Amino acid sequence: MFRRPLLALALLATPAPLPAWAQERVITISSTTSTEQSGLFGHILPLFREQTGITARVVALGTGQALDVGRRGDADVVFVHDRAAEERFVAEGFATRRQHVMFNDFVIIGPAHDPARIAGSRDAVAALRRIAEARAPFVSRGDRSGTHAAELRLWQQAGVEPAGNWYRAVGQGMGPALNTAAAQNAYILADRGTWLSFRNRQELRVLTEGDQRLFNQYGVMLVNPARHSHVKARDGQAFVDWIVSPAGQAAIAGYRINGEQLFFPNATQPESVTSS
C-alpha cells in the first residue's frame, strides 16, 4: 500500500527538464587538424560563445574525413581547406553554399643539413622534384586531408610518383606527422599555422615558401538540413554568419603566436578571385 506515495515522492525528486529556451545550445563543427592543432579554435570559439551563447564542439580530422562526417549528418557545420572537394560536397547536395573564410599557406620543411638542397627556393614543384631525386626521407600525412591533397597535386605537377622507402605516408594529422618528420629528419609539407604552433622542431626548418601554388584557402559550409533533418540549422548558420562577419574575421586576424599572424581572413574576397 506504500507504492503510490513512494512513486509520488520519486517523481517530486526528479528535476523537471529545462524548457527549450533554457537548454544549452551546442553545435558540432567538423574541421581539420590544422585549425585545431594550430590553436585557432581555442582562440575563436570562446569568443563565438560569448557573443552568441552557442557552444561549438569540434571534430578534428583530415579534410576528406571531415567532409565524410558532414555527409553522414554527424556535424552541423564543415570548415575545411580543399576547394575542389568542398565544391563536390555542395554539388552532391550536402550543403547549399560554400563561403571563403581565411587563408594561410603551405611550406616545405626539412632538416637543417638539407640533403636535397632546396633551401631558399620559392619553387615548390622543383623542390619536391629534388627531394625525389635525392631519395631524401619525406613524410606524407597520407590521410585524405586538405594538406595531403595539396601535396599530391604538387607531386603530380612535378611529374613524380612518390614511392619507395624514402616516401613515408603515416595516415595521421599534421601535428603527429610533424613529430614523425622531426624524429626522422625528414622533409614534409605543412600548413604554416600548425608549424608556427609546433614545439618539437628539433633540426627542422622552413626551406621552401612563397610559391603561389602553396596558397591554402579555407571554406565553411552549413550541412544541408534537407539531407539531414536533425542538423541544427539555425545555430549552425549562426556560426557560419559569425565567422564571415567583421567580428569573426577580427577574431581570426587576432590570433597570433609570438606576434606572428597564423591565418588571414578573406571572407569578403570574391570567390572567383582566390583559388585553393
Q: Would you kindly state where each structural domain of the chain is located, as residue ranges?
A: 26-103+215-265, 105-214
Residue 19 pLDDT = 52
CA distance 90 to 107: 29
Question: What is the three-class DSSP state of 57?
Answer: strand
Residue 199 pLDDT = 86
Residue 101 pLDDT = 98
Contact by Cβ (8 Å): 49, 56: yes
Which residues are CB-contacts of 6 (< 8 A; sequence separation ≥ 6)? none
Pick the CATH number of 26-103+215-265 from 1.25.40.10, 3.40.190.10, 1.10.357.10, 3.60.130.10: 3.40.190.10
| Maximum pairwise Cα distance, the chain | 89
β-strand partners of 167? 138
Residue 66 pLDDT = 95
Which residues are CB-contacts of 69 (< 8 A; sequence separation ≥ 6)? 30, 59, 61, 75, 78
Residue 68 pLDDT = 96
CA distance 214 to 174: 16
Architecture of domain 105-214: 3-Layer(aba) Sandwich (3.40)
User: Could you give phi then psi for residue 27, rounded to 5 degrees?
Assistant: -120, 160
Contact by Cβ (8 Å): 173, 33: yes
Residue 197 pLDDT = 87
β-strand partners of 191? 106
Question: What is the three-class DSSP state of 90?
Answer: helix
CA distance 180 to 119: 20
Residue 182 pLDDT = 96
The pLDDT averaged over each successive group of 10 residues in the chain (276 residues) is 43 48 84 91 97 97 94 97 95 97 96 97 97 98 92 97 96 94 97 90 96 95 97 98 98 94 90 47
- The pLDDT tens digits of the residues spanning 11-41 come to 444 455 545 445 789 999 999 988 998 999 9
Burial class, 186, CB count within 10 angstroms (exposed 0-12 / middle 13-18 / buried 19+): buried
Catalogue the E-assigned strands of the chain. Answer: 25-32, 54-61, 77-80, 99-111, 138-140, 167-169, 187-191, 204-208, 215-222, 256-257, 260-261, 264-265
What CA–CA distances, in Å, run from 253 to 23, 53, 207?
A: 32, 22, 25
Place of cell 594561410: 104
Do domains 26-103+215-265 and 105-214 share one topology? The answer is yes
